[in-house]
Structure 1
Amino acid sequence: MVNMVVDIIVPVYNVSKYLNKCIESLLAQTYKYIKIILVDDGSTDGSEKICDNYARIDDRINVIHKENGGLVSAWTMGIKNSKSEWVVFVDGDDWVEYKHIELLVKEQIESSADIVVTRMKQIDKGNEKFIEFCVPEGRYIGEKLKTELHPVMINAGGFERRGVPFSRCSKLIRKSIIIRNLKYSYEKATYEEDFNIIAPCLMDAKAISMLKVEGAAYCYRKVESSMLHGYDRNMSNSIYHIYPILLKACKSKNMGGFVRQIQFEYVSAVVRLFLNETKNSEGYINMSRIIKKYLTDRLFQQSLEIVDARMYPVKFRIILYFLKHYDSFMSKIIIKLICLIRRQGINHA
């Protein structure tokens, strides 16, 4: 196998409880030609000391300490300090299986892919579950890429059903593609921040390999305090900025075929936003403000018009119906309906 050096970028912020397992999984990789870039984003829980301790015992580890600026600023700093042509991202509270890098590199060499994607394994309170691909495993190059993957790459025809997972992680990526698309990355994003950079990168890739093989999984730890469980105050701002940026990227890349897929994801994100707002103490007033904000936004209106509600779970179809037939009276109905759905649990959609 060619001795291709891979830079592993690890954003770190207050994950001292999990960080040792993350770093140990990287040092235990069967593929040894790696550099590990730990980007400490202003940690205050001892994570910064753990990073420094590991750097002292293994010269493949480089630590960058920076002021807290958020996840996007942390991994971007890692990219800018990377010296290799190939990068892998691993978040500080996750870990990877022992052949993760070896199998990604092997597949890249054999396929000449710009992006190699492997499966994620979700760890939730000790229970493990693979997040399966929505497309068949295989190599998508040339005509096969255009005809079989591109039509479903961003959205495969359903609520949050993605042909290629949006996470930065679980991928080996040609760094030059990321560098080229940093201009589309919204640094203040706290929601869909990975989609914000991965979608333009996927559009640029000339070959993408979907790899499903034993020993290569990215192990994602489902943390109860994460955004999925708590209220994300910046979610509306993230969505409002990210999707116009992505639609602009489609235009500048002459990738008009992705517009409808991104519009579908835009509407799905706003539905999630409404569910997020039920956890806001300001409740009704703030949700009313957000509904009006999006329904007066031209890009969202265009997206709402083209979305086929039949592709959504039944409970969300009702929300879409009321959004498409909105008035002040409908606003109260929408909010009550969203609160009811939230109480029933969104994960059973």
Structure 2
Amino acid sequence: MDISIIVPVYNTGKKLRKCIDSILNQTYKNFEVILINDGSTDNSLSICKEYKKKDNRIKIINQDNKGSVYARNSGVELAIGKYIVFIDADDWIDREFLNILYNEAEEYSCDIVACNPYLVYGNGLIKRIRTDFTQDIIFENEEIKNEVLSKLVGDTGFPSSLWGKIYKRNLFENYGEYFFRMKFFGEDLALNIELLPKCKKIKVIDKPLYYYRCGGGTTKYMKNLFEDTITTYCIQKDCIDKYYSNQKKERYAKISFIFLNTYKLVLVNMCSTGHDKYKIISKIENQVKDVNIRNAIENLNTTREWFEPEYIEALDNEDCRYLYNWGKKVYNKSKYKIFIKNMLVKLNI
């Protein structure tokens, strides 16, 4: 078996058929599909079983809801292909996706090959190419650290997503140092930071072959968001300490900006709980005392000017009422924007 395709599935029944059809209709045929039903409560499992009856390349793992980290891990443990591909269950791929990425990996002996995605709404009538890569480039050895991994710890330019790539399966031997520390948010970044240093050769290609469904967004509360945000920051610091110690001050400043900017999302997310104002303020009081937030504020240096002064002053002074009011205001605005976007998406389903 050349390729193992891992698809975590959780309540994506309305979109799952398009994903599976795009896989089974690939021009490249020597692959297996591992569908991990992660405790879905809709008809996702029955759809998986329906397709399994049609195609013996499909395997199903049915497990209690453990989250996407452990769903993907279940797929990795079962995979037997030389390469692994991750596809989100609400996305789909071009008919040539496997053919092109597999042949590029084989021809150039690459550990990872990555392509550009289409960003789509609905079933793809509204779409645009996200140009992560403007030309085909091969990175080898030290270039991977300097030109690829570096983009995940302060720089920009290499997508942190697991989808849109093909990975050699041997990269996953004894993996999990960073990946299993995540609950939900930032797992893609954590795994790529873990895998990239193992690579000897990576290729990026400018063809758009993956269809990423943007959707309209959600106001659903993510209970582990704060913890995952902190864990991501700590993983990035660890990576900097290992590979960029001579650039520590500059890179710490950049990831501190990213961390504290992401904390804005945490504030907005907490305001989606419907909890009492003073209960949320109490949570904020605990969060802003966290040693990582205090550390990030100290590390901002030149990136401090990228923030509005009032926000950083509120963090500096632990002004939790200001932070609550800021989060509530942004949340109230976002509800209407998300509603409008979701309506547009539904019109295109």
Shift of 1:97: 0.8
CA distance in 1, matches of 2:311, 2:196: 29
Residue of structure 2 equivalent to 1:99: 96
Cα deviation, 1:60-82, whole Å, max 9, x if unaligned, reads 11111112211111111000001
- Aligned runs of 1:53-202 on 2, under 5 Å? 53-125=50-122, 126-133=125-132, 137-156=136-155, 162-186=156-180, 189-202=183-196
Shift of 1:147: 3.6
- Aligned runs of 1:1-349 on 2, under 5 Å? 5-125=2-122, 126-133=125-132, 137-156=136-155, 162-186=156-180, 189-213=183-207, 216-224=208-216, 228-248=218-238, 251=241, 253-254=242-243, 256=245, 260=252, 262-282=255-275, 284-307=277-300, 308-309=302-303, 312=306, 316-318=307-309, 320-327=311-318, 330-345=319-334
CA distance in 1, matches of 2:8, 2:284: 34
Shift of 1:282: 2.0
Equivalent pairs counted in the alignment come to: 330
**Percent identity over paired residues:** 25
- The answer to whether the 8 Å contact 1:186/1:241 transfers is no
The alignment partner of 1:195 has SS state of helix
CA separation of 1:123/1:333 partners in 2, compared to 1, >3 Å: closer, same or farther? same
Shift of 1:185: 1.9
The alignment partner of 2:174 has SS state of helix
CA distance in 2, matches of 1:209, 1:177: 15
Cα deviation, 1:73-124, whole Å, max 9, x if unaligned, reads 1111000001123100011111111111111112212332222111122222
CA separation of 1:151/1:39 partners in 2, compared to 1, >3 Å: closer, same or farther? closer
CA separation of 1:169/1:239 partners in 2, compared to 1, >3 Å: closer, same or farther? same
CA separation of 1:150/1:10 partners in 2, compared to 1, >3 Å: closer, same or farther? closer
Shift of 1:219: 1.0
- The answer to whether the 8 Å contact 1:30/1:102 transfers is yes
- The answer to whether the 8 Å contact 1:277/1:286 transfers is no
CA separation of 1:341/1:287 partners in 2, compared to 1, >3 Å: closer, same or farther? same
Shift of 1:150: 4.1
The alignment partner of 1:217 has SS state of strand
TM-score by length of 1: 0.82
The alignment partner of 1:120 has SS state of strand
Cα deviation, 1:33-54, whole Å, max 9, x if unaligned, reads 1111111112232211211121
Cα deviation, 1:160-210, whole Å, max 9, x if unaligned, reads xx4221211111112222343313223661222222222222233332222
Shift of 1:345: 4.7
Cα deviation, 1:135-170, whole Å, max 9, x if unaligned, reads 8652222343344334434332xxxxx422121111
The alignment partner of 1:180 has SS state of coil
CA distance in 2, matches of 1:309, 1:134: 26
Identify unmatched segments of 5+ residues in structure 1.
157-161
Cα deviation, 1:248-294, whole Å, max 9, x if unaligned, reads 4555x555468635444322322221222232312643543344334
- Write the letter of the residue equivalent to 1:17: K
CA distance in 2, matches of 1:113, 1:218: 19
The alignment partner of 1:183 has SS state of coil
CA distance in 1, matches of 2:152, 2:108: 19
Shift of 1:337: 3.0
Instruction: Please give the root-mean-square deviation of Cα atoms over the aligned residues, in Å.
Output: 2.9
